[in-house]
Amino acid sequence: MLDWNKIKERSSELLGEAGKKFRQYTPESFSKEKKFVNSLVVSMALMTMADRKADTQEIITALDLIKDIDEINDLDLTTEAIELYEFHIEELSKVVDNATKFILMEAKLLSELAKMKAYPEYPPMIEALIAHIAQSDGNLDSTEVEMQKKILDAIK
């Protein structure tokens, strides 16, 4: 069962530690570092929702990772990354019962990830993070393995 209160509480704590707005999708004018942060967040959201349900532990793990990733902190993008992650989780949750809309949303997010192909130094970090998210609830199922493959195909 998803504990939205626990998730919102943790999110609020983390959001209190920073403060700006982040765009939903990465403009081409963004630096490669900001594109990387965007890709990290999109990847984590896709992995969280791979099995078409949001698990409290997976979300908290992703929020904690966002807070702890040096590249995000160095760019002062912690707040924006958390807000973007929440946005993607909420949007994916809205369409989880509609297979067509979910696939379209997934495809849109995967196309965002394709921007990482230009930066070969980042996919290994994304790969490590999505593996961590996938296993954070103690259960790596076939949908999560499939999503990992989709993400890796998009970024490599």
DSSP 74-143: HTT-HHHHHHHHHHHHHHHHHTTT-HHHHHHHHHHHHHHHGGGGG-TTSHHHHHHHHHHHHHTTS---HH
pLDDT at 16: 53
Nearest to 115 by CA among 47, 34, 21, 24: 34
pLDDT at 46: 96
| Angstrom distance (rounded) from CA 3 to CA 103 | 25
The first and second tokens of residue 37, run together, are: 């942060």
| Angstrom distance (rounded) from CA 45 to CA 64 | 13
pLDDT at 22: 42
| Domain housing 45 | 4-155
pLDDT average per 10 residues of sequence, the chain (156 residues) = 73 56 51 88 94 87 90 88 94 94 95 91 91 81 93 94
Note the pTM of the prediction, 2 decimals.
Answer: 0.79
For the chain, the domain total comes to 1
Which residue reads 């966002």 in tokens? 66
